[in-house]
Amino acid sequence: MHKRIVDIKYLPSLLQVVVIGTVIVLSGCLGVKNSTRSSGKNLFETFFVGNDGTQYFIKPLTFNDDTNNQLKLDITFRYKDAIKDSALVNISFINTNIYRTIDSLKISNDSATVVFKDFKYLFAERIQKKMNSRFSTKGTLADIYKLFKINNWSMTVYQQKSSDIYYSPNETSKKIDKLKYGIFMLF
């Protein structure tokens, strides 16, 4: 029985081949882009959902009122060949008070006004010195599409006999424009 002995003079080159091969394999794996993420400064994510087309998740957009409270809006919807599906609309109030109910949310800009009703209260949690009150409802994708034509959104929240108005800061207006060109111009 013969034992094969590796000649020592070949050992460094064998080690180099193994190291270089490992680096190539790892860099190839790390360079693969995840297909569920989209560009646009990470403002949205996309997921292929087979026969239903593509599911879009628009990450939270922040709106402010006059007293530095915030409303965060995120939207999830599916699109394939036509604008016909509904959209899930979620809002969070980052406020000193807890919101337990809201009657409606009106989103307006220079070209459209959309009113969302039938909000479901999801939860409330403390975030440092403020509270996060989270709600969800459905709306039509056609209405959402109309809103993204113009970026100067104002949001009016109706709660019992009062209302609060939130405005889109410049940063949010720029995000709305990027979403318009990144998603809604494809429809």
Residue 144, both tokens: 């959402």
Q: What number of other Cβ atoms are within 10 A of residue 127's Cβ? A: 9
Tell me the three state secondary structure of residue 66: coil
Q: What whole-number distance in Å separates Cα of residue 121 and Cα of residue 112?
A: 26
**Is 165 exposed, middle or buried (CB count within 10 Å of its CB: 0-12, 13-18, 19+)?**
middle
pTM: 0.76
Domains along the chain? Answer: 44-186 (2.60.40)
How does DSSP assign 94-157, residue by residue? EESS------EEEEE-SS-EEEEE-PEEEEEEEETTEEEEEEEEEEEHHHHHHHTT----EEEE
The two structure tokens encoding residue 35? 């297909």
pLDDT in tens, 131-157: 999 999 999 999 999 999 999 999 999
pLDDT tens for each residue of 75-126 = 999 988 777 779 999 999 999 888 999 999 999 999 999 999 999 999 999 9
